[in-house]
Amino acid sequence: MDNNFQTSFIPKKPLATERAAPVRHVSVATLIATVIFFASLASLAGVYLYKSVLTKTIASQSADLARAKAAFEPSLITVLQNLDRRINSGEEILGKHIVVSPIFSALSELTLKSIRFTKFSYSITENPHKVSVIMSGTAASYKAIALQADALTQNKYILDPLFSNLSLDEKGNVSFDLNFSVDPSLVSYGESLNRMNNPQ
């Protein structure tokens, strides 16, 4: 008997042919759609987190506001609001208040020794706010009236001075009428206080 017989259970040829895995190509549209999908998921997560942070912040600030509001006394707040309204009303009244004494102060500084005023009247119009002054007087000469007109014109608070009805009396004096307007800041009570506190 031949002992050289070799038996092998391993086949010499492959039983089935192996197939290579097919290569899949990813289209650009699929890639873009995938990127957009994941970006949308990330955005959704970000919005959700942001909303939760905002909700917590609002709740915290509402609690702080409630604590701060509770710290104040409502009766004190009412008293302070009434006081504020009164102060504002007082400031409004003072802002509209007219004081005539600055006109006399200005005239006492500007009137020449050769001029004498005998009558004084004024009128106030509200809209537009304007003070008009009408005066009468006598002067030693026509030259004195010209000098007085020049002095009044140079003052920034006296507007458009006009001498009229000039007439010579038997003693050689010249009688006249004088009309002019006054800058509203001169007769404003608030401005008058400011000038008194700051003479410069």
**Does residue 13 lie within any of the structural domains?**
no
pLDDT at 194 over 90: no
Distance separating alpha carbons of residues 152 and 178, to the nearest angstrom: 11
pLDDT digits (tens, 9 = 90+) for 23-79: 667 688 888 888 999 999 999 999 999 999 999 999 999 988 888 877 777 778 888
Q: Which of 110, 116, 189 is nearest to 157 (CA)?
A: 110
**Does residue 184 lie within any of the structural domains?**
yes
**Does residue 159 lie within any of the structural domains?**
yes
How many CB atoms sit inside 10 A of residue 149's CB? Answer: 16
**Does residue 89 lie within any of the structural domains?**
no
**What domain range is 159 assigned to?**
101-197
3-class DSSP string for 83-152: HHHHHHHHHHHHHHCECCHHHHHHHHHHCCCCEEEEEEEEEEECCCCEEEEEEEEEECCHHHHHHHHHHH
pLDDT digits (tens, 9 = 90+) for 168-185: 888 888 999 999 998 888
Q: For position 113, which CATH number holds? A: 3.30.70.2830
| Contacts (Cβ under 8 Å, ≥6 apart) of 123 | 131, 132, 134
**Does residue 23 lie within any of the structural domains?**
no
